[in-house]
Structure 1
Amino acid sequence: MELRRTLIMVALASVTYFLFLSWQQDYGTKPTTDVVQENAETTNSVANSELPTVATPSANTDIPTVPAVQKAVSASDLAMDSATSPTVRVVTDVLDITIDRQGGDVVRVALPKYTQTVEDKTPFVLMNQSNALTYIAQSGLVGVGNGSGLQGLDDQASGRPIYDVKQGQFTLADGEESLNVVLSTRTSSGLVVNKVFTFKRGDYRISVAYDVKNTSDKPWQGVMFGQIKRDNSKDPSSDNHSFGMVTFLGGAWWTADKNYNKVSLSDFASDAMSQQVTGGWVAMVQHYFVSAWIPPTQQINQISTRKSSNGADNFIGFTTSPLLVAPGGDGRVSADFYAGPKIQDSLKALSPGLELTVDYGWLWPIAQFLFWLLKSIHGFLGNWGWSIIVLTILVKAAFFKLSATSYRSMANMRRVMPEMQRMKEQFGDDRQKMSQAMMALYKKEKINPLGGCLPILVQMPVFIALYWTLMESVELRHADWILWINDLSLMDPYFILPLLMGVSMFVQQQLNPAPQDPMQAKVMKFMPVVFTIFFLWFPAGLVLYWLMNNLLSIAQQWVITRNIEKAAALKTGH
């Protein structure tokens, strides 16, 4: 009879498991891993004369004025018309970008080294202008109101310039280390401008420079602007986040007082920022990737954030110090633009504090150390899955003595459980006497009732920090381990690791003393089920860590419990 009941339970569990897999396949969330669907129809329209003047800015424009101390205006939010301004495509070994000839804005960035998903090997699209997403990088020159009568390049009455270019596509050839793409234009007032994009092999940074020649008989003064424009669409990785534990999506910038400041997309309107910095950077952060403008490092730049007047778009950008070009003279102003993965060493080399866009939260020091340790292990093993296992062993070793204290306390509690049960029957509902008797027993047996809890609480920051380490590290994106685990940044597609983790929790629970309160005991028995469900959608890398930690804890706890029970048996002669 018992065998038949066991077989029925096993069969029901198996059927439930496969039904859940089928439901997940048909109706569950698909692992998108940052995929942005492109749309052939772009939402472009021509918008002329949207740049305000310093003195009388337009009331309905999305563009703020620059503080008078800098005597410049910031960039405009101008749309592009693909029918009148064809695009230029530039392909390197790490970048595939599209530049709109009207304004020379970067309207699409794809990353050939990073695929959309493990199965879909097409390059991941980070930035794009389409019906599904508006996420672009704009730059230009605007004139300073100096009474010369010469306008800037991007604030002319005719609208933003349409650049001339020799060809429609450029490719960094094998053997070449750099590539220059030159866009040229001329204004009616006598400015000749070359907008030069410089690409380097293996580099996600693009140098954007303006070479200005003033052929008029009047001096010209203007500033360069650079800004990132993004709509309110959600983080394409949000479908893979677990129970609201989401990565940051929004703007970030550097100041001398604080190397990393940030504002979420939802707070762009309420937390608008405008200030002057020497050097600095502004960025738009999105899970594993970041886009950033790095203006001239030795100049005073104005950085700002704002929301468009209709609330549809968010902007973060900069304007440089004014550039003065005498009649017949020339000048140059430039900035760097980065669009790529959040690799800390590369970002730190670009500008101080930019590596902090790998946002580990308030446990950053712990998470940073764990990532360094994990990366060092990976340097030897070459596999992130095995590296996580080795990291788990090292972390467990670091807390070995602390864990041993906890397990001894629980083992001693387990040893005196029969005596505690006898006292419960003796004192019945007299809680005061029961409490006094228990405290006397703890004192006699030298048991600390909190000894099993405090060491675990001390380790919790490490667990949380490791969660953010695994969630924020682009190195683990699409990293495989063994067999069916081909992406440690996503949930286990067959839920095998979470189920094994749940079993390990159940086994570990059997080694712990059962709570005296019947209701609490029932709740504790249900905890492995709750945690299993909770971990079903966690990244496989984190579940792997938790499973290995449980297995090591079971081994350590079993040895300690067995030794204590043996010592007690020898002492009592049983």
Structure 2
Amino acid sequence: MYWIKNTLILIFLFLLAFFVYKFNNINFLHNSINKKNINNINFEKDDNCFNSDNTICIKTDTFNISIEKNTGNIIKADLLKYKENINSYDPLHLLRSKKNFIYQVNSGLSGIDNNNFYYDNSYNKKKEFHLLNNDKFLLVPMKWISKNGISYIKTFIFERGKYFVKIKYDIFNNSKNKINLSIYGNLTQSINYDKEHHSYSFGIKTFKGAAYSSSKSKYEKINFNDIVKKNYVSDFSNNKWIAMIQPYFVSAWIPDNFIKNKIFLDRVNYRDVLIGYQTEPFNINSYENKQICSKLWIGPKIKKEMLEISDSLYYTIDYGFLWFLSQPLFEFLSYLNNIFNNWGVSIIAITCIIKFIMYPISKIQYVEVEKMKKIQKKISFLKKKYKDNKNFLSKEIMNLYKENNINPIGSFLPVIIQMPIFLSLYYVIVESVELRHSPFIFWIKDLSDKDPFFILPILMGITTFFMQNDSESDSSLDTFQQKIMHIMPIFFTIFFLWFPSGLVLYYIISNILTIVQQKIIYKKFKF
């Protein structure tokens, strides 16, 4: 009976955590802004870095990027070191510009008529740029000029092995008049989730949407639906970065922190939204020039590498409301992986360590459960005797607990503790890019995805069956309760079918260790 109660408590806590997560969105006070500096969307012709008169192709050891000449916008970015899916040889397509899905990076000058600028083909005639084997850096300069004597060069600087791009703006005012302008950058994305950017099938999903870091807060996030309903604009301040977030990967602008800038979120049309930044306006006198730099991150959420360009960008590794547990859990899991060089073995090891730490609490649970079993007949007698007086019945049961030195909370305390650990590990598996497409053994090629043959969920159901048989005696349960107990392993097997296999592996090992602990404790105390 008490195992059933604990199981129901576990399910309740799981559903509670699910609803807390669903409604744990940050709200903003929004102000209306005019849509501006939004460039026309250009669609891809195919899945490769296409050569056209209006496109520049760049290939490094980490990127395959297409930049539009007229605007200098990045309309496509492939991550060469990550696969689109476990069974594919195609690189991960992060930024795309297709008819049914837009995800691109825009930047340029604001405060002047951009329509007067045209791309200077004579400045750089190359259509393709490659990072050669012996090169550490690749520079891609692009120049635009206007009829009234203003010109600017935007230089993309790629570094070997890095997922950030340095962007240098050199602005030349060759006109007779002083100009007042600012630099802007935005990230535009479609609300619909492209099939190439698939999420996970179970209900608890990691965050996907826009985020930013400001002088007031290191990490603020807003989902796409809130951007559609309202827009938002901040005051000019030392804002740190803006980003579009999805599981495992992120694109982010990190503007020059020496210049104040404002952040804005807006809806482009019925399908697309954007988050952007704009620097505080600055003046350039006649026949003078100015240089401004910014950085752009396009890649995986790797904390160590993100710290190279920002002290807070790694907050985009969004572990949800249990981040304070998930972060140290991942760090410890990474430490174990450095030893075993297998994330699956590391999950087994961390499960053993957690169960060892929780052994004293588990012992309390088993002892309390056995004590409760011994007084079941007395409790049944009291229920019949005082069935018409619930208040007095509760007092008598509590007195019975005191006489037998029983703490009812102790019987389900491990369940309460295990639930946050379980959810924290879930967030670690579905949000840490290091575990994406990580194999374990034989048929398990990806611990972050479900078991393709459902072998692990079946093993989990079997271990659950043996665990409950060891934890309950038939004499303490009526016929209906026994039927419920036999159904529960089947229920849990179905429940875990689409969970990440790494999480199911954790639960299997936890069940096995629980069975061992039960036998040790029952033998020691001779229940």
* TM-score, with length taken from structure 2: 0.85
Deviation track 1:353-384 (CA, whole Å, cap 9, x = no partner) reads 21111111121111111011001111111111
- For residues 200 and 385 of structure 2, the distance between their equivalents in structure 1, rounded to whole angstroms, comes to 47
Tell me by how many angstroms 1:340 deviates.
Answer: 0.2
Residue 142 in structure 1 maps to residue 110 in structure 2: yes
Tell me by how many angstroms 1:560 deviates.
Answer: 0.7
- For residues 254 and 77 of structure 2, the distance between their equivalents in structure 1, rounded to whole angstroms, comes to 17
Contact 1:212 1:332 in 2 (8 A): yes
User: Which of these residues, 176, 183, 189, is aligned with residue 217 of structure 1?
Assistant: 176
Residue 473 in structure 1 maps to residue 473 in structure 2: no
Deviation track 1:249-306 (CA, whole Å, cap 9, x = no partner) reads 1000012221110111111033422112214100000111000001111210011101
- For residues 436 and 213 of structure 1, the distance between their equivalents in structure 2, rounded to whole angstroms, comes to 85
- Amino acid paired to 2:259: Q
User: Which of these residues, 71, 79, 104, is aligned with residue 111 of structure 1?
Assistant: 79
- Counterpart of 1:289? 249
Residue 535 in structure 1 maps to residue 496 in structure 2: yes
- For residues 435 and 407 of structure 1, the distance between their equivalents in structure 2, rounded to whole angstroms, comes to 23
1:152-163 equivalences in 2 (<5 Å): 152=113, 155-156=114-115, 161-163=118-120
Tell me by how many angstroms 1:557 deviates.
Answer: 1.2
Residue 229 in structure 1 maps to residue 188 in structure 2: yes
- For residues 344 and 210 of structure 1, the distance between their equivalents in structure 2, rounded to whole angstroms, comes to 28
- Amino acid paired to 1:199: F
- Amino acid paired to 2:300: P
Tell me by how many angstroms 1:324 deviates.
Answer: 2.3
3-state secondary structure, aligned to 1:511: helix
Contact 2:264 2:276 in 1 (8 A): yes
Tell me by how many angstroms 1:412 deviates.
Answer: 3.4
Tell me by how many angstroms 1:339 deviates.
Answer: 0.6
Judged with a 3 Å threshold, the aligned counterparts in structure 2 of structure 1 residues 440 and 190 are, in CA distance, closer, same or farther, namely closer
| More deviation, 73-82/259-268 | 73-82
Judged with a 3 Å threshold, the aligned counterparts in structure 2 of structure 1 residues 320 and 471 are, in CA distance, closer, same or farther, namely same
Contact 2:42 2:97 in 1 (8 A): no
Contact 1:508 1:554 in 2 (8 A): yes
Contact 1:396 1:552 in 2 (8 A): yes
Judged with a 3 Å threshold, the aligned counterparts in structure 2 of structure 1 residues 221 and 440 are, in CA distance, closer, same or farther, namely closer
Deviation track 1:113-134 (CA, whole Å, cap 9, x = no partner) reads 0011222121110010012320
Deviation track 1:415-466 (CA, whole Å, cap 9, x = no partner) reads x2xx635874897686469878866664454333332112321232122111
Contact 1:207 1:335 in 2 (8 A): yes
Residue 559 in structure 1 maps to residue 520 in structure 2: yes
- For residues 275 and 511 of structure 2, the distance between their equivalents in structure 1, rounded to whole angstroms, comes to 45
Structure 2 unaligned runs (5+)? 1-31, 46-51
User: Which of these residues, 30, 40, 63, is aligned with residue 78 of structure 1?
Assistant: 40
User: Which of these residues, 42, 52, 55, is aligned with residue 87 of structure 1?
Assistant: 55
- For residues 127 and 384 of structure 1, the distance between their equivalents in structure 2, rounded to whole angstroms, comes to 29
Higher relative contact order (CA 8 A, sep 6+): 2
- For residues 375 and 78 of structure 1, the distance between their equivalents in structure 2, rounded to whole angstroms, comes to 43
- For residues 476 and 297 of structure 1, the distance between their equivalents in structure 2, rounded to whole angstroms, comes to 33
- Counterpart of 2:9? none
3-state secondary structure, aligned to 1:211: strand
User: Which of these residues, 347, 360, 365, is aligned with residue 306 of structure 2?
Assistant: 347
| More deviation, 427-436/517-526 | 427-436
Deviation track 1:310-332 (CA, whole Å, cap 9, x = no partner) reads 32210100111223222222111
Structure 1 unaligned runs (5+)? 1-62, 66-72, 144-150, 569-574
Contact 1:342 1:357 in 2 (8 A): yes
Tell me by how many angstroms 1:520 deviates.
Answer: 4.4
- Counterpart of 2:376? 420
Deviation track 1:201-234 (CA, whole Å, cap 9, x = no partner) reads 0111111222122222112221111000001122
Residue 182 in structure 1 maps to residue 141 in structure 2: yes
1:356-395 equivalences in 2 (<5 Å): 356-395=315-354
The total of aligned residue pairs comes to 482
3-state secondary structure, aligned to 1:269: helix
Contact 2:262 2:277 in 1 (8 A): yes
Judged with a 3 Å threshold, the aligned counterparts in structure 2 of structure 1 residues 446 and 422 are, in CA distance, closer, same or farther, namely closer
| More deviation, 347-356/104-113 | 347-356
3-state secondary structure, aligned to 1:491: coil
- Greater CA radius of gyration, 1 or 2? 1
Tell me by how many angstroms 1:193 deviates.
Answer: 1.8
Deviation track 1:551-570 (CA, whole Å, cap 9, x = no partner) reads 11111112112222x3x5xx
Contact 2:84 2:93 in 1 (8 A): yes
Contact 1:94 1:113 in 2 (8 A): yes
Residue 250 in structure 1 maps to residue 218 in structure 2: no
- For residues 231 and 326 of structure 1, the distance between their equivalents in structure 2, rounded to whole angstroms, comes to 40
- Counterpart of 2:127? 168
Contact 2:213 2:240 in 1 (8 A): yes
User: Which of these residues, 215, 218, 224, is aligned with residue 259 of structure 1?
Assistant: 218
- Amino acid paired to 1:499: I
Contact 1:259 1:352 in 2 (8 A): no
- For residues 264 and 239 of structure 1, the distance between their equivalents in structure 2, rounded to whole angstroms, comes to 17
3-state secondary structure, aligned to 2:410: coil
* TM-score, with length taken from structure 1: 0.79
Contact 1:406 1:456 in 2 (8 A): no
Judged with a 3 Å threshold, the aligned counterparts in structure 2 of structure 1 residues 470 and 291 are, in CA distance, closer, same or farther, namely same
- Amino acid paired to 1:75: N
| More deviation, 171-180/518-527 | 518-527
Q: What RMSD, in angstroms, separates the aligned Cα atoms of the two structures?
A: 2.5
Judged with a 3 Å threshold, the aligned counterparts in structure 2 of structure 1 residues 423 and 370 are, in CA distance, closer, same or farther, namely closer
Judged with a 3 Å threshold, the aligned counterparts in structure 2 of structure 1 residues 397 and 236 are, in CA distance, closer, same or farther, namely farther
Judged with a 3 Å threshold, the aligned counterparts in structure 2 of structure 1 residues 396 and 235 are, in CA distance, closer, same or farther, namely farther
- Amino acid paired to 1:527: M
- For residues 96 and 81 of structure 1, the distance between their equivalents in structure 2, rounded to whole angstroms, comes to 17
